[in-house]
Chains A and B, each alone.
Chain A
Amino acid sequence: DGGITQSPKYLFRKEGQNVTLSCEQNLNHDAMYWYRQDPGQGLRLIYYSQIVNDFQKGDIAEGYSVSREKKESFPLTVTSAQKNPTAFYLCASKRTGANYNEQFFGPGTRLTVL
């Protein structure tokens, strides 16, 4: 089955720790995205990558870092510099090109800072 997987589903972190959220896709999509969602809110873009070894900051990149060493993988690290990291994190991917406009989403990771 083609799709996007995220792990873990739930993650608990102590203050001051870095944590890495996994996102893998086997859809052969070039573009991948990380979003943050707070309760009762829409999605906000953290980082996105259009191609391997390249990524750009979104609207709320401070306190986060990413890498894109493989087409299939786009891990997100939540660093200790992120002041309020408790949120629901969603990864998405998309084919690039003018005819491809839909983003497809993974199941999400709920991060709680204790």
Chain B
Amino acid sequence: GIQVEQSPPDLILQEGANSTLRCNFSDSVNNLQWFHQNPWGQLINLFYIPSGTKQNGRLSATTVATERYSLLYISSSQTTDSGVYFCAGRKMDSNYQLIWGAGTKLIIKP
């Protein structure tokens, strides 16, 4: 079936630590995106990354489309990085529908 699976479901780290979040997606999903949902519920676009690697400050993402996974790296974590990180992919037989993972809840302790 059409699936987007994220791991780990929860992650608690000390400020300054690095982390890697994983997103596995089925073969009927492509055009991966990563989002951060802050504690107030706002969803912020982090990366649109169908393949390859992108970096934005302390965050970077890599998608290996042939192996159906994407990784989000957060370096030197700050407390403001806390929240839920979602990956979502486009359903291939639709131009518009996104299929969402269940998210990784990240807590950064000071």
A residues whose Cβ falls under 8 Å from a Cβ of B: 31, 33, 37, 40-45, 48, 50, 58, 88, 90, 92, 94, 96, 98, 101-105, 107-108, 110
Contact = CB atoms under 8 A, between A and B. Distances in A.
Interface residues of B, number: 23
Contacts of A43: 86, 88, 98, 100
B42 interface: yes
A103 B103 CA distance: 17
A45 B41 contact: no
B97 A45 contact: yes
A102 B41 contact: no
Contact of B42 (A31, A40, A101, A108): A108
Nearest to B91: A45
A94 B45 CA distance: 12
Contacts of A110: 41
B31 A101 contact: yes
Nearest to A30: B96
A41 B102 contact: yes
B31 A105 contact: no
A23 to B, nearest CB: 14
B42 A50 contact: no
Interface string B27-60: 0000101010000111111001010000000000
